[in-house]
A and B are shown apart, each in its own frame.
Chain A
Amino acid sequence: MVVAFDELKVSMHLAEPAAFPVAEKVLLAAAIVASLGVFAWRLAPIARNVLRSKKDTDFSLRPVGARVWKFFWEVLCQAKVIKQRPLPGLAHAFVFWGFLAFALVTLNHIAVGFGLGFLQYAGMFGTFYVVFAAVWALLVAVSIAGLFVRRFVVRPQWLGAEVSVESGVIAALIFLLMATYLAALFVADGSGAALGLWWVHTLVLLVFLPIIPGTKHLHLVLSPLTVFLKRPEFSQLPKLEGDEDFGLVAGKDLTQLIALQAYSCVECGRCTEHCPASTTGKVLNPKEIVLGVRSYLNENGPGSEVVLLDGAQPALSMEAAFECTTCGACEFQCPVGVQHLPILIGLRRGAVNTGAWEDKYGTKLFLALEKQGNSLGMSSAERDKFIAKQEFPIFDGSQEYCLWLGCMGSYDPKGREIVSDFARVMRALGTQFGVLKKEKCTGDPARRLGNDLLFGDLAEQGLKAFAAAGVKKIVTICPHCVRTMATDWLEYGVAPEIEHHSEFMARHAHLLPQQNGGSIVYHDPCYLGRYQDVYDEPRAVVATAGELVEAERHRERSFCCGAGGGLAFLGEETGDRVSHVRAKELIATGARTIGTACPFCNSMFRDALGAVGGDAPPQLLDIAQLAARGLAMQANDGKPNGN
């Protein structure tokens, strides 16, 4: 549509009020000072709580490049905000981008009050900018109205049961800002309407600013900083320093980063929505944990001796802290950079390292690890028998790989099947491997439950064992072992190069025979997917065995099987069984087979299928078993083997 430039100039003109008399300017100045003052006064205690918290000993600004990228992608591009909740996410993104777009407008607006307006609407840039800002104002107005309707009319459960009045107020203020801007396009310069609109816009700005601290809208100020400063690794746990550090016992243990993140929480509830505990009726609610830390800081300040768990805040309960499977779905997608896992595991550390956690099963697990060196409390003689029966070669330094069995691979009947099948695959591919004579647990459950004494002992012993045996490369069937040895053990030393069997098999996928195995739904294990970014390699293996089908929640959105965080070893769950919920989801795809890549997932689903699988449940096979099946068929010239 062509509009004459002159007409355009006239209709796209932002009306400004007539110049203010001195008295009005003084009033304006006073109002601005007051607004800034209240803002500062409300922000100060928060800044104090953050800055006076304990320093993060593992913090480093480097690598700066990665931080800058995260800032660009997550803050400026709003990637996480949009990805996890597309429509509301986009609406929020528009509001944010509109905010940025309005920067010059806002500055100019205030300047105009002092007769110092600098945007020349007559010029090319000025005209462009007015239109630019107007488009954004429209987008923002529509978006904020939509979000308002979502929060107050649609009422999604993740936003909480109570209606947030402050959100309504903020939404109204934002809407008003946009409305006053748009309205100013249609009134004349110097008119009474222009003056009125100018003052309304200004008052909204001056009221908005001081509201920010003390509400979740503090994220406007904090979250860009929070995202920039967040820990570079996923579930990154700091080393305990000195003789008095046992984890997050009391307020004095909360670090600056944790405090900053607690205040940045925007209460969107996406973490809760993704949490397997919260969605199956358990007490744990990740959002409430973060807000609990915030309330704690507001009430007790940093440096407080008041114990965090069980008493300080209702959400910070021992029960909740030990319902976490450490699946990481919360931390992985948090759009404002809150890292939940170091907080939850930190709370566990505080309880376990001081002996405050008294749990029958937890104690049994720790004693089994202490005495027998494996999480199942089995005699190592059982592992010796298994190795002998399978005729696994013993690692003697000459083989390329050390095949690490792990607790499940050593003692669990299904884990043993998976390991045996993987050994078959390696043999078929001509890979030289050996198993260690003795294995102790990598310490994963101790680490996730916060037992640093036990974890440290196991890590040190494990590193020594690998060094003594001269191991250069490790391959294993368990993602927990991979994560623990490659990352968590770094606190004590560097383990040999380690990879998951999916990575190994993917490299050799071209050598694995194609099977017509029907549809296979692949379940991404938390400790392989979110923890290590390994999504495609297992799928490459599955693709050789049949037709890959995706569950509704897959890849980084995969839903936990319920075993992680040491929970496989702790008694009965309350509420619905996490494994049952996920099993039903996998069954609902209609796939003939469920493909797993973790012996814990396999174990959980085996039980779950027994309960919810019905009369003809899908087959449950690890990717190693799928590959071995193909190799066996190939050996029999395409005929299925005798089994």
Chain B
Amino acid sequence: MSSNVLVVLETKGAGWHRMSFEALAAGQKLANELGMSCAGVVMGDNAAIAPLAAELAKKKLNCVWAVGDSLLAQYTADGWVAALQQLIVETKPKFVVLPHTYQVRDFAPALATRMGEVLIGDVTAIEVPDGQSGPLFVRQWMQGKLNAEYRHRSEGGVCFLSVQAGSFRADAVKDGVSEVKTFAPKLDAAKIRTKPGEPYREAAQTVDLSTAAVIVSVGRGIGEQDNLKLVEDLATALGAELAASRPICDAGWLPMERQVGSSGQTVAPKLYLAVGISGAIQHLVGMKGAKTVVAINKDADAPIFEIADIGVVGDLFEVVPALTKAIRG
């Protein structure tokens, strides 16, 4: 029984990559609005994927494909492309939905190319207008300055799309009952050309704020060195790196390598939380690349609010502990 929408989920270790169920939600929505059926795919070696496939079978799907082979025990682009191509040829879906993860970016374009298609990647919204023209997929251009609506054109081909993190909510996945089907791809070890090593973490020798995804930064508003504990707790709760504006490092309260600014590090995190920082230009030039800036300062006129996305005019000694508690709770 073939399904029109195939959702390729991604595993991480013994569990799921956090975006897998977002992609599943997107796939279910697309199938639902088009009146099509939806199937899920999990890939890896047979022993590892069995429990995951069973879990997936408890969702509202036509079926779950367990694509297993020993050569799929570790991810390689060659392995994934070959296996998925065979599955697609066999099951003939109209749409293949993937989460836009690092891994998908590594193999999905090659898979699409092999099938004469182009991946519509990093989709932020799916719209199914009335009529026969097919669904529209929205992507961002020019770093979010524009939205572009794409439609898959080729007749009889497969439409590949990957969805952006957070664009669809994992908790929107509908439960149900479906069956697990195994698919054994025919893979040739000689055709797997890359040899991946084990993932590792680098020893944190020096502080490299430039790669941090979340940064909590403290400025003169903190008052005294002893008060730093408040901000450190917040950083820990957020899983963030701690940074500071120059006066804090000058005073020796934090090491110089945590300084963000024109004479310190330049950072571009997803979230920059500026606590008690006024926003002098020397500091701004170091963090203006942040995707989202949240500023907490008691001075409503502080220049930091000009560039902040979310601002809180308040006493940081009240707001910060409350925030830490809310994150943990």
Return 12 A-B CB contacts under 8 Å, by A number. A361-B263, A364-B266, A377-B288, A378-B284, A379-B288, A385-B306, A413-B280, A413-B303, A606-B280, A607-B282, A610-B247, A611-B250
Task: Indicate whether A376 reaches chain B with its CB closer than 8 angstroms.
Answer: yes
Name the A residues within 8 Å of B250 (CB-CB).
611
Q: Does B247 lie within 8 Å of A411, measured CB to CB?
A: no
Interface string of B254-292 (1 = CB under 8 A from A): 001000001100100000000000011110110010000
Q: Shortest distance in angstroms between B309's beta carbon and chain A's nearest beta carbon?
A: 14
In whole angstroms, how far apart are the Cα atoms of A153 and B39 in the complex?
Answer: 96
In whole angstroms, how far apart are the Cα atoms of A413 and B306 in the complex?
Answer: 10
User: Contacts A412-B281, A413-B280, A413-B281: A572 and B263 contacting too (C-beta < 8 A)?
Assistant: yes
- Residues facing B in A401-423 (CB within 8 A) are 408, 411-415
Question: What residue in chain B is nearest A407 (Cβ atoms)?
Answer: B281
In whole angstroms, how far apart are the Cα atoms of A412 and B278 in the complex?
Answer: 12
7 shortest A-B CB distances, which residue pairs?
A413-B303, A412-B281, A571-B263, A376-B285, A572-B263, A377-B285, A413-B281
- Residues facing A in B12-31 (CB within 8 A) are none
Question: What residue in chain B is nearest A413 (Cβ atoms)?
Answer: B303
In whole angstroms, how far apart are the Cα atoms of A610 and B246 in the complex?
Answer: 11
Task: Report A's interface with B, CB cutoff 8 A.
Answer: 361, 364, 376-379, 382, 385, 408, 411-415, 569, 571-572, 603, 606-607, 610-611
Name the A residues within 8 Å of B284 (CB-CB).
378
Question: What residue in chain A is nearest B262 (Cβ atoms)?
Answer: A569
Interface string of B228-271 (1 = CB under 8 A from A): 00000000000000000011001000001000001100100000
Which secondary structure dominates where chain B touches chain A? helix
18 more contacts with CB within 8 A, not counting A361-B262, A382-B307, A413-B280, are: A361-B263, A364-B266, A376-B262, A378-B284, A378-B288, A385-B306, A408-B281, A411-B281, A413-B279, A413-B303, A414-B281, A569-B262, A571-B263, A572-B256, A603-B281, A603-B282, A610-B247, A611-B250
Name the B residues within 8 Å of A385 (CB-CB).
306
Name the A residues within 8 Å of B281 (CB-CB).
376, 408, 411-415, 603
Interface string of B52-65 (1 = CB under 8 A from A): 00000000000000
In whole angstroms, how far apart are the Cα atoms of A449 and B132 in the complex?
Answer: 63
Question: What residue in chain B is nearest A389 (Cβ atoms)?
Answer: B306
Name the B residues within 8 Å of A364 (CB-CB).
266
Name the B residues within 8 Å of A411 (CB-CB).
281
Question: What residue in chain A is nearest B246 (Cβ atoms)?
Answer: A607
Q: Shortest distance in angstroms between B311's beta carbon and chain A's nearest beta carbon?
A: 16
In whole angstroms, how far apart are the Cα atoms of A364 and B284 in the complex?
Answer: 15
In whole angstroms, how far apart are the Cα atoms of A364 and B256 in the complex?
Answer: 19
Q: Shortest distance in angstroms between B220's beta carbon and chain A's nearest beta carbon?
A: 8
In whole angstroms, how far apart are the Cα atoms of A610 and B288 in the complex?
Answer: 23
**Counting chain B CB atoms within 10 Å of each CB, which of A376, A408, A603 scores highest?**
A376
In whole angstroms, how far apart are the Cα atoms of A382 and B282 in the complex?
Answer: 15
Interface string of B296-329 (1 = CB under 8 A from A): 0000000100110000000000000000000000
In whole angstroms, how far apart are the Cα atoms of A411 and B281 in the complex?
Answer: 7
Name the A residues within 8 Å of B306 (CB-CB).
385
Name the A residues within 8 Å of B266 (CB-CB).
364
Name the B residues within 8 Å of A378 (CB-CB).
284-285, 288
Q: Shortest distance in angstroms between A511's beta carbon and chain B's nearest beta carbon?
A: 30
Name the A residues within 8 Å of B247 (CB-CB).
610-611
Name the B residues within 8 Å of A379 (CB-CB).
288
Q: Shortest distance in angstroms between B31's beta carbon and chain A's nearest beta carbon?
A: 41
Name the A residues within 8 Å of B256 (CB-CB).
572
Name the A residues within 8 Å of B288 (CB-CB).
377-379
Name the B residues within 8 Å of A382 (CB-CB).
307
